[in-house]
Amino acid sequence: MNNHHIFYSIILLLAIIGPSAYAVTEADQQLYKSSRFTLGIGAAIVKFDTKLKFTDKSRSNFDSIFIDPEGTLDLPELSSVTTFYGAWDINPKHNIGFSYFSVNRESSLINIDETFEDVKVVGNAKISDATNFYRLNYGYTLFNDYRSKIKLHAGIYGLDLKYVFEAEGQITRDGVTTSGSIQEEAKVFAPLPLIGLDMWYSFTPEWGINTKVAFVRGSYEDVSAGVLQTSVNAQYRFTDHVGLVFGLAYFDADVVIEDDVEKIDIAYGYDGGFIGMHFIF
């Protein structure tokens, strides 16, 4: 995971604690205290950057297939996704939040002549990405005044990864060419521990800015992963029960799936803009 992205995220967090701004009124504080549930839906345009490496440990020379989905296989680099999010404010100190979004991309190529590290394919290839992201976290308010709030959140980040690569035609491996097909699949669901900070700063009763940074690192069965996720967004309150959010998000994950016969290394990243609308009950 790139250190300068971590540094950038910390700078974003510190930037939220700026000089004085517009203080919300006592009535606004009472509104916050009485707001219990928030449900929202949004849309995002994101740019993906992924890499996969499949290593066959059962072969004496550990043959590998390296895939650059967006580069060599024309998997769509830009894609739109729908996000769902929500929160339950138990009281001003404690809350529970969640989010979910899914990715669905696919690409098919004919008459390719590509070498994927130790394997050469002359023929047709297909790759698909059907990955789901889940987050469930508990938040504890570390600091709260009339215009700002800092929360520590911890929970579970669910990475439901499914990449499928298929190729058929003339397959060359270890210098031997045969007519046939290959299929490699990276499929795993890993619930990983999450910890991070959530910071809010209010300029006016209607306008505010929020930044989040979350770190995920852990292992589950045959999976180990490290994830950095950050976002910066502006929020606008139309009414006491309807709000708008828009901003930027960054995600970077390094995942390793390994058993006795195969090791799969996955670098999965994206960044982009999003907009959403939420309802407060």
Among the listed residues 36, 33, 147, 39, the one whose alpha carbon sits nearest the alpha carbon of residue 92: 33
**Residue 219: what pLDDT?**
83
| From 8-22, 85-99, 112-126, 243-257, the region with the lowest mean pLDDT | 8-22
**Residue 2: what pLDDT?**
52
- Mean pLDDT along residues 272-276: 95
**Residue 33: what pLDDT?**
45
Label residue 22 left, alpha or beta by phi (over 0 means left) and psi (-120 to 50 means alpha).
beta
Among the listed residues 269, 148, 270, 253, the one whose alpha carbon sits nearest the alpha carbon of residue 194: 253
Is residue 21 scored above 50 in pLDDT? Answer: no
Confirm if 267 and 254 have CB atoms less than 8 A apart.
Answer: yes
Question: In angstroms, rounded to a whole number, what is the distance separating the alpha carbons of residues 109 and 125?
Answer: 5
Residue 69's CB is within 10 A of a number of other CB atoms, namely: 22
pTM: 0.79
Question: Two tokens at 124?
Answer: 């047709």
Among the listed residues 264, 237, 270, 136, the one whose alpha carbon sits nearest the alpha carbon of residue 194: 136
**Residue 135: what pLDDT?**
93
Is residue 136 scored above 90 in pLDDT? Answer: yes
**Residue 26: what pLDDT?**
34
**Residue 146: what pLDDT?**
86
- C-alpha 62: how far from chain center: 31
**Residue 6: what pLDDT?**
44
Question: In angstroms, rounded to a whole number, what is the distance separating the alpha carbons of residues 95 and 137?
Answer: 9
* Domains of the chain, start order: 3-103+129-160+190-280 (2.40.128.90)
pLDDT digits 0-9 by tens, 217-271: 888 888 888 889 999 999 999 998 999 999 999 999 898 988 888 899 999 999 9
| From 61-65, 150-154, 180-184, 227-231, the region with the lowest mean pLDDT | 61-65
Question: Two tokens at 63?
Answer: 């043959």
Confirm if 146 and 200 have CB atoms less than 8 A apart.
Answer: no
**Residue 175: what pLDDT?**
82
Which range, 34-38, 110-114, 138-142, 159-163, is most confident? 138-142
Is residue 20 scored above 70 in pLDDT? Answer: no
pLDDT band, very low/low/confident/very high, at 62 (cuts 50, 70, 90): low
pLDDT digits 0-9 by tens, 192-202: 889 999 999 99
